[in-house]
Structures are given as C-alpha cells and as structure tokens.
Amino acid sequence: MRASGIPVFLSGEPYAHRAKYAAALARALRFSGVKVEIMRASEITTVVKHDLSAPHDIAVINVLAEEIPAMIEHGMLLPVSVLVPDASLRTLHPLSAIFASGGKQYAIPKNIACGLFFARRDILDRYGFDIPRTWDELVRFGREIRKNRKGPVLALRGKNGWAQTFLEYYWSNGGSLLSEDGAMAFDAPRAQGVLSFLSDLVHIHKLMPRAFVTRESWKTPEDITDGRLVFAQASSDALPKLAERYRASFEERFKIGLCPIGPAGTNAATYIEGSCFAVPRTTAHPRAARDVLRFFCDRNRSGNFDTHWLHPFPRYAMPFAELASFPWYVRRGCQLLADARIPQHDMPLAPGIAGIIESAVISCLDRSATPADAASAIARALTRSIGRRYSSPVARAVTHIRTNFSKQISLADIARISGLTRAHLTRLFTRETGMSPGRYRTDVRIRHAERLLEGGATAAHTAAASGFSDAKYFFRAFKRATGKTPASYRRSRRA
C-alpha cells in the first residue's frame, strides 16, 4: 500500500530505453505533480488488486489492453468519462471504444498494436506475387516458393499467440463470437474450417514446420527481423525493430497486410492489442488522474511525446494527410486499421477464453484432437463465459427471445418466462444488456432479416419470417437499423 500522500503514475515497462522513457515521462507530467514509477505491466494489475480495499496514492495505471475487461467486471476502475470531457475523448482513435462498458469509457489508449501479415517483398517480386489476400493465394504462393527454397516459408504467432491467430482467421472467415446484442454467435462450422486450414498449413501443404506449433510466439518477430521467413503473422510491434534494422531498405524488403480472407469472409480482420491508461476506483487523487488523462487526450500537449515513443500507431484520430511525416509503415498500418474488420463486441470476451482457444488450436495442430472436437471445446468455453454475463432471469428472457423471435411474443410473455414483473424485468434487462427487451427483440429480428436478405429472400418473405407482422413497420425498422432499405441491402450484399 502506497501511503506517501503523493499521487503515483504506474507505467508499464517499455520495450527499450527504460530509464530514458521514465525520465521523459516524468518531465512531461511534471505539471501534474505525480511521481512516475516504471514496472512490468503484469505487476501493475497485482498492485491495484491489493490496493483496492482502501484509498491509495495510485492515480493512473498503464496496463495491457487485455486486462481491462476483467478489471471493469470486478469494479476495479473509475470511468474516465467522468474525469475527461466527451470532446477530449472524441479526439482519440475510434478503437478506444473497446474500453467502454455500459455506456461508460474506462480507459484511453496509450499505444495501439494489431496483428499483421508480413511478407518478403524481394522474394515475392521474383515470382510475380503480391502479398496473399486469400487463403487460396497463401497456399498457392507458399507451395510455389517452397519448391525452390530451403528453410521455413511461414510462421504464425505460435505458443501464447494461437488464440489471437485463430480469432484473426475466424473473423476473416466471416465469424463472430457474439452478436451485437451480446448473445452467442459462434459459428462452429466456420471455426472448424479455420482449424482445418491451420492444420493443413502444417501437415498437408507443409508451409510451416511442426516445431513452430509449440514454439514461443516472441520468436516469430525475430525470424521476420532476420529475414529467414517469407510469410509471417505477428504483432505490429515488430515494425519498429524492422525499421531500425533495415533502415532505408525496409520498404523495398518487406510488405505488410492483414490476415488472408477465408472462403466465407468478405473483410480481413485483426486482433487489437497494446496498452492503455486507466484510473483505479479507490484512488485518493482523482484530480491528479484527471490532469494526466487530459494531457494524454490533448494532441497539442502530448503529441510530441507520443510521436517520440510511438509503438507503432498514434492514439489520436487524425486525417490521413496529417500522417505524411510518419514512417511509411505507420501510414500503411493506419490505413489497414481503417479497413480491417474488428468485431469490437468480441474483444472484451476474447481474453477470458484465450487459454481454451490456445489449447484447442494446439491440440488440433498436433493432431491429438480433430478440428470438430477443437471447435466444440471453444464453443463450450464460450457458452460458459456468456452464461456468466447475465443473471438467471435475464438469461431466460434472452433465450426465450432468441428462440421465439419469429413469433408474436409480448413483453408480458417474456416477463412470465423470466419470473419477474414487466417493470422489474425491463430495469434488470436494460442494465445487463444495454437495451430494453423490446429493442432486443427487434434487434434479433433485424439480424435474422439481414441473413435472409443476404440469401436472396424477398422483403415480404423476410418480414414474415423474422416476426414482423406489419411490412411497413419492418421497412422502417430495417432502414433505421442498417441505413438501407431491405431491397438495397439485398443488392449490396449479393453484388
């Protein structure tokens, strides 16, 4: 317990130049009166947990983004939206929305990293290939290059990174863990397809050595840096190291893109990582915390500091033209982030089941489990995790709505199934799901209507099959939810 009476800013250990970073941070925050302490990011969460029981001197913490969902769930954080004006929060990168829960934002990004697909430009040029955009292209390019090359062609993230790899390929194959309303949307056949593809990369196409399955994920960026690989899936944190090693020849030697798109996907996806700033709920120094957060939300004040310690993308939302002074890989990365599919409703759930996904993927790749068994293991873990999200009455109401949405179910029917009065259910349901039972019912119907229209169904058939008895009301509700009429939505998705 820190009891010096001086507000403390705990910052995670940076990748390099620790002492220099600490000194620069202390100078930048001198106006706030906080004392800067640098430690490992994994240690910060432990310190905060131990200091939760009483007011303490920790004003701001810098923790890994993946820690935030659990810290919110356990009531460890103070919403930053009560300390920082909304106008300041809007200057941040749009991805800062992944730190929100229940309409409140609990952290602001310090640095943004994401999963990228790296490729050797110099080798691809010899074969007339570009960076692979689809699974088929990755296999075709890799097999052709492997004929004339000694050594590994491909490396994915590896041990302690298979969960991120699986999710990137699953999302890029059109899958989701949760629907936008928070209900389970796991697609077992798509997941099985991803697991089969990853297994085939090792055992059928032989693009990645079997030894890489259980190799630590941190070794993949080293192989990229040393130029031993042709293709690699790794965090964007490898970019500054590559830039430092190859300097002027970096852009001529490497290309970066996103995860190849699967046969059922339409957009490449990426897994967002990095770290962020948050405020412990029981801090004794909310004013100091406010001053620090406002500093990091203001590009005019903290922009120079951020640019110097960029790893590797800026936290601010800015026009692409303003990025002209940044290195080429920062500009390219920001463009990729803007184009990527990032299921933000999946992100808070992902860290909690990462261990299960990791074990399932490895068991599939080492052939101790089939892709179907591994997909089932992920589905079971997801079901358990979602089951903890809602109280029993709300869980019963959610299940009833999702099972009977095509019928004419009323709020009275839903309340009866939940065992609560209509007023009590509405309050509890809205608090736990973020929307009323009626809106939730409409949202489920709209999502079902989208799938029917994507398959070519007429608007009239879609309305009836989705539980809308009034075609005019369906038209208005669909346009309000999607911004398109049913007919235009069907044309756009089938184009």
Asked if 182 contacts 345 with a C-beta cutoff of 8 angstroms, the reply is yes
Judged by DSSP in three states, 287 sits in helix
> Distance from first CA to last CA of the chain, Å, rounded?
61
- Measure CA 133 to chain center: 20
pLDDT at 412: 92
Give 201's strand partners: none
- Measure CA 254 to chain center: 25
What distance in Å separates the CA atoms of residue 374 and residue 437, rounded to the nearest whole number?
Answer: 34
Our CA angle for 69, 75, 77, nearest 5°, is: 75
Asked if 225 contacts 216 with a C-beta cutoff of 8 angstroms, the reply is no
What distance in Å separates the CA atoms of residue 417 and residue 409, rounded to the nearest whole number?
Answer: 11
Asked if 167 contacts 346 with a C-beta cutoff of 8 angstroms, the reply is yes
Over residues 351-377, the pLDDT tens digits come to 778 889 999 999 999 999 999 999 999
What distance in Å separates the CA atoms of residue 147 and residue 119, rounded to the nearest whole number?
Answer: 17
- Residue 159 is given by DSSP the state B
Over residues 238-295, the pLDDT tens digits come to 898 888 888 889 999 999 999 999 998 989 999 988 889 999 988 889 999 999 999 9
pLDDT at 133: 96
Our CA angle for 372, 154, 354, nearest 5°, is: 45
CA-nearest of 361, 196, 168, 153 to 260 is 168
- Measure CA 297 to chain center: 21
Asked if 58 contacts 48 with a C-beta cutoff of 8 angstroms, the reply is yes
**CA of 74: how far to CAs of 44, 181, 337, in Å?**
16, 22, 30
What distance in Å separates the CA atoms of residue 80 and residue 52, rounded to the nearest whole number?
Answer: 17
Q: Specify the pairing of strand 154-155 against strand 77-78.
A: unpaired
Give 58's strand partners: 8
pLDDT at 345: 77
**Alpha helices (H) along 405-470:** 411-418, 422-433, 437-454, 459-465
Q: pLDDT tens digits for the chain (495 residues)? A: 455 688 998 887 665 677 888 888 889 998 888 999 888 766 777 777 665 567 788 999 998 888 887 787 777 889 998 899 888 888 888 888 788 776 788 999 988 889 999 999 999 999 999 999 999 999 999 999 999 887 789 999 988 899 999 999 999 999 998 876 566 788 999 999 999 999 999 999 999 999 999 888 878 888 887 778 899 999 998 898 888 888 889 999 999 999 999 998 989 999 988 889 999 988 889 999 999 999 999 988 988 888 777 778 888 888 878 888 889 999 999 989 888 988 877 877 787 788 899 999 999 999 999 999 999 999 888 877 766 667 778 878 887 887 788 888 999 999 999 899 999 999 988 877 777 899 889 988 987 888 788 778 889 999 998 999 888 999 999 988 888 899 888 887 655
Backbone torsions φ then ψ of 184, nearest 5 degrees: -65, 130
- Residue 483 is given by DSSP the state S
Residues in the chain: 495
pTM: 0.77
- Which token pair is 4? 């010096």
Asked if 114 contacts 105 with a C-beta cutoff of 8 angstroms, the reply is no
What distance in Å separates the CA atoms of residue 303 and residue 312, rounded to the nearest whole number?
Answer: 14
Judged by DSSP in three states, 114 sits in strand
Please give, one letter per residue, the 3-state secondary structure of 172-223: CCCCCCECCCCCECCCHHHHHHHHHHHHHHHHCCCCCCHHHHCCECCHHHHH
- Which token pair is 83? 């300390």
